[in-house]
Amino acid sequence: MSSALISSADASRIAIPAEDEDVAALRQSVVTKLTYAVGRDPIVATDWDWFMAAALAVRDHVLERWLASTRANYDSQGKRVYYLSLEFLIGRLLHDSLSNLGLVDRMRAALAELGVDYDRLRNVEHDAALGNGGLGRLAACFMESMATLQIAAHGYGIRYDHGMFRQVIKDGWQHEYPENWLTFGNPWEVTRPDATHVVGFGGTVETRAGADGTTCYVWHPAEAVDAVAYDTPVVGWRGHYANTLRLWSARAADPLRLDAFNRGDHIRALEPRDRANAISQVLYPSDETPAGQELRLRQEYFFTSASLQDLVLRHMRQHKGDIRLLPDKAAIQLNDTHPAIAVAELMRILIDLHALPWEEAWRITTDTIAYTNHTLLPEALESWPVSLMERLLPRHMQIVYQINRLHLDAVRALPQFDGAPLAALSLIDDNAGRRLRMSSLAFLGAHKVNGVSALHTELMRQTVFRELHQLYPDRIVNKTNGITLRRWLFAANPRLTGLLTEVVGERVLDDAEALAGFAKAADDTAMHDRLAHIRRDNKQALARLVAERLQITLDPDALFDAQIKRVHEYKRQLLNILETIALYNDMRARPTSNWVPRVRIFAGKAAGSYRRAKLIIKLINDVANVINNDPALGGLLKVVFIPDYNVSLAEAIIPAADVSEQISTAGMEASGTGNMKLALNGALTIGTLDGANIEIRDRVGQDNIFIFGMTADEVEERRRRGPGARETIDGLPVLQEVLDAVAYGVFSPDEPQRYRELVDELTGNDHFMVTADFAAYAAMQRRISAHWHDRRAWWRASVLNTANVGWFSSDRAIREYAADIWNVVPRIT
Ligand code: 26V
């Protein structure tokens, strides 16, 4: 590894003097922050006060590197990456920052000298939950990897006042409550009122004759909203370098209508303020429905426009006002279609504001922009009613129409064009009212379009982008997702990390592929014992958390089996809970069999309006109630649904899991990233041939992963043949018994009909193939139990999982984006 900025050896010499001195200095800076920034006397300071003081002290450490990095980027005049994402699911920052800076132990010692417990204090930090799930967490991992690899990058998004809702389980049902991460202040961000941009909405477009016979367009928006920047430094591994996450907050340009106020109409007077503020108020639970809401479109345009204005301004300042250099100096990555309006917005900036001709503007736009697709689910593909677009963004729609015209003309001019209708290729979908297909706009405006796993990319070529792919066969590329080891191994599982560095050496901390060296421990039984010990400690810690939150006792010697992710029918938590019931029935029927004690752990949120998913959560809790309280089982089987899943809870569950559930209907999970985190920590996967599971199998070896069920092709084929659930169930008495129990209210005696609709769907259409995959899943679960009895085989497989998943590091993913899409060279190679 080499670093042009500063090498590791130099950095440790410069940044880390004698240890005691450092502890004393840290302690002093925490006390100073407590006194002068928080304004509290140590005698009365609460955990929160100490947390703020510690975070501000850490931030000072980061700021120096941040300023140095910013200066280095400016001086180098190099190309920058701009990652536009409506979601950044970063979680807590204190421990992660300290861990990346190598200061955890010293901070712990400094606080201990002040009589403060670091572990208690780090738990009072609120999660920054500015995302729904995989897409948002990926953006956070990517930001960390770009800082680690010293790629000059800016993340751009929205500073939501309220992030992902808080999930409370009452009587087994999910309830959603607003989340208030900013209420007590956010120590990590720096407000930049100077970096404010005005974002327009609505109004009219004026056409003027230009000097040389051309036509100029002047947009006169009806409404103006200020986008105010809040910057958070993202510090990379070993703390040498930091990038900026810039999140926009919306403010009314004119917050008060004084005329109304003076008339005494205070409500109306504040209307502009409220309307503007609404834009950055809440994160949409985007797994919900195609957010038809105008507010969602306003959010998307708001942050896209502010970000493009910001990056163009930076470019002009840095590169002598030469906008033509933009593709050489900026790579813009669209994280899904949420910022797809960037295509039209950049065209507008280039043509209307910089007076470039269309062709040149189009070349600059497409050379600069790239787009990542994260789902093929038709209901999840964004499209906006043309009428709404024309009202809200009239100038952008003119540009979109022109893009579409030129695109369709080009198709008609192709030699192979046979006069067939071009509906499938058009940017406008005429089927369900006229709607603008955002995925097509993003595809046309990008030089590269990527999927997030090999299978997903192939399915993109065959399905959603079939026609566009035929036209542009080189545009779609694969970039399999990755995760940052710094958070998901080093910070979340320090004991395992310690063992790994002992076995393969310190270099594993800088090079994920070095994990391969751990394979030599595969058959070492002494090593197995140590791993088992570490896992047991982690399970005990999780058991304490569960006891505190749910008053349920877990046996740390039981097999912990975790399904932790958004609750969605395609992810098939239902398959898991039905098989749990089958296991329960079997345990009751054959109590003297050599059962493996098991804990089924569930955690995840359902979109507030997704009734079915919420019903599945209730079913899990109802089943848990019956099973956990059945004295006949003697605690052999436990089911827990841990509420309010978030990044911090994931960090507690993942190091404690023995089995990782990745059981989506094949062809439906674009990639998954939890699968990678769990395998990295040594959990064995039970999974379908879906998303990145396939690539995980290829790397860990098929003997070390439990793959079951239909392939994506088989799913498609079976769906074509029509419903076949009835015959399947008829051949499976075990499943029939489970479905009867659910349908007749065994788990819901207070409302026997509660799960009728779930069972009706399974016996009818069964779109997600729960019944079709049931037998294979149940058989595989039994094989896992048999495997558990063979401790040598189990830990061998576990070692080989950890050893072989280094490739799923987000550093590898980012290197691929850098080389194949952005054309930037990381400073760390
Ligand atoms: C969106 C929607 C919206 C409408 C209703 C159903 C539904 C279901 C899923 C989604 C997914 C939104 C995009 C997303 O988060 N995709 C996830 O991206 C991860 C990072 O690439 C990837 O690992 C996950 O497999 C993928 O689901």
Whole-number Å distance, alpha carbon 378 to ligand 1 midpoint, is 11
- Tokens matching residue 720: 């074509």
Q: Which atom of ligand 1 is nearest to the CA of 672?
A: 23
Find the catalytic residue in 232, 337, 484, 673: 673
Q: At what angle do helices 134-148 and 810-817 cross, to 10 degrees?
A: 80
d(CA 55, CA 47): 12
Residue 281 has a pLDDT of: 96
Q: Is this model's pTM higher than 0.85 or not?
A: yes
Q: Smallest Cα–Cα separation from 142: which of 447, 452, 477, 375?
A: 452
Q: At what angle do helices 47-76 and 94-101 cross, to 10 degrees?
A: 50
HSE-up (13 A, CA, CB side) for residue 575: 32
Among protein residues, the one with the nearest Cα to ligand 1's atom 16 is: 374
Whole-number Å distance, alpha carbon 589 to ligand 1 midpoint, is 40
Among protein residues, the one with the nearest Cα to ligand 1's atom 18 is: 135
Whole-number Å distance, alpha carbon 642 to ligand 1 midpoint, is 22
Query: Is the CB of residue 616 less than 8 Å from the CB of residue 605?
Result: no
Residue 16 has a pLDDT of: 40
Instruction: Kindly report each contact of residues 516-520 with a partner whose C-beta sits within 8 Å and lies 24 or more positions away, as own/partner.
Output: 516/803, 516/804, 516/806, 517/803, 518/799, 518/802, 518/803, 519/799, 519/800, 519/803, 519/804
Find the catalytic residue in 59, 106, 374, 456: 374
Is 479 tagged catalytic?
Answer: no
Q: Which atom of ligand 1 is nearest to the CA of 670?
A: 25
Find the catalytic residue in 246, 677, 754, 827: 677
- CA atoms 502, 505, 509, 511: torsion sign: negative
Is 466 tagged catalytic?
Answer: no
Which of 375, 573, 609, 612 best tests ligand 1's pocket when mutated (most atoms within 8 Å of CB)?
375
Which of 83, 336, 371, 374 best tests ligand 1's pocket when mutated (most atoms within 8 Å of CB)?
374
Q: Which atom of ligand 1 is nearest to the CA of 372?
A: 21
Ligand 1 proximal residues by C-beta, below 6 Å: 133-135, 138, 286-287, 289, 336, 374-375, 377, 379-380, 452, 481, 568, 669-673, 691
- Tokens matching residue 527: 């090593």
- Tokens matching residue 732: 């499976």
In the sheet that holds 637-641, the strands lie side by side as: 637-641, 598-603, 559-564, 659-662, 684-687, 706-707
Find the catalytic residue in 154, 469, 565, 827: 565
Burial of 363 (0-12, 13-18, 19+ CB in 10 A): middle
Whole-number Å distance, alpha carbon 440 to ligand 1 midpoint, is 18
Tell me whether strands 215-220 and 204-209 are parallel, antiparallel or unpaired.
antiparallel
Which of 85, 135, 376, 690 best tests ligand 1's pocket when mutated (most atoms within 8 Å of CB)?
135
Is 605 tagged catalytic?
Answer: no
Residue with tokens 């006792």: 553
Q: Which atom of ligand 1 is nearest to the CA of 481?
A: 21
- Phi, then psi, of 126 in degrees rounded to 5: -80, 145
Q: Smallest Cα–Cα separation from 174: which of 603, 518, 726, 740?
A: 603
Q: Which atom of ligand 1 is nearest to the CA of 452?
A: 21
Among protein residues, the one with the nearest Cα to ligand 1's atom 9 is: 287
Provide DSSP, 525-590.
Answer: HHHHHHHHHHHHHHHHHHHHHHHHHH-----TTSEEEEEES---GGGTHHHHHHHHHHHHHHHHH-
Among protein residues, the one with the nearest Cα to ligand 1's atom 23 is: 672
Residue 286 has a pLDDT of: 65
Whole-number Å distance, alpha carbon 331 to ligand 1 midpoint, is 24
Q: Is 238 left (phi over 0), alpha (psi -120 to 50) or beta?
A: left
Is 539 tagged catalytic?
Answer: no
Whole-number Å distance, alpha carbon 135 to ligand 1 midpoint, is 7
Whole-number Å distance, alpha carbon 673 to ligand 1 midpoint, is 11
Residues with Cβ within 8 Å of 69's Cβ and at least 6 positions away in sequence, in order, are: 5, 150, 152, 241, 242, 243
Q: Which atom of ligand 1 is nearest to the CA of 286?
A: 3
SS (H, E, C) 369-405: EEEECCCCCHHHCCEEEHHHHHHHCHHHHHHHHHHHH
d(CA 559, CA 639): 12
Among protein residues, the one with the nearest Cα to ligand 1's atom 4 is: 380
Whole-number Å distance, alpha carbon 604 to ligand 1 midpoint, is 14
Find the catalytic residue in 447, 571, 572, 600: 571
Q: Which atom of ligand 1 is nearest to the CA of 673?
A: 23
pLDDT per position as a tens digit, 624-659:
999 999 999 999 999 999 999 999 999 999 999 999
Whole-number Å distance, alpha carbon 102 to ligand 1 midpoint, is 34
Residues with Cβ within 8 Å of 136's Cβ and at least 6 positions away in sequence, in order, are: 85, 87, 88, 89, 130
Q: Which amino acid is at 365?
A: T
- Tokens matching residue 87: 């979601």
Residue 287 has a pLDDT of: 55
pLDDT per position as a tens digit, 2-23:
333 433 333 333 344 456 669 9
Which of 132, 283, 286, 567 best tests ligand 1's pocket when mutated (most atoms within 8 Å of CB)?
286
Whole-number Å distance, alpha carbon 375 to ligand 1 midpoint, is 5
Query: Is the CB of residue 381 less than 8 Å from the CB of residue 337?
Result: yes
Q: Which amino acid is at 139?
A: A
Residue 291 has a pLDDT of: 60
Is 329 tagged catalytic?
Answer: no
d(CA 503, CA 499): 6
Is 673 tagged catalytic?
Answer: yes
Whole-number Å distance, alpha carbon 457 to ligand 1 midpoint, is 14
> Which mean pLDDT values do the consecutive 10-residue runs of the chain (829 residues) have?
38 45 93 98 96 96 94 96 98 97 96 97 97 97 98 98 98 97 96 96 95 91 97 97 98 86 88 92 74 87 98 98 98 98 98 98 98 94 95 98 98 90 94 94 98 98 96 98 98 98 98 98 98 98 98 98 98 98 98 97 96 98 98 96 98 98 98 98 98 98 98 97 92 98 98 98 97 98 97 98 98 98 95
- Phi, then psi, of 74 in degrees rounded to 5: -65, -45
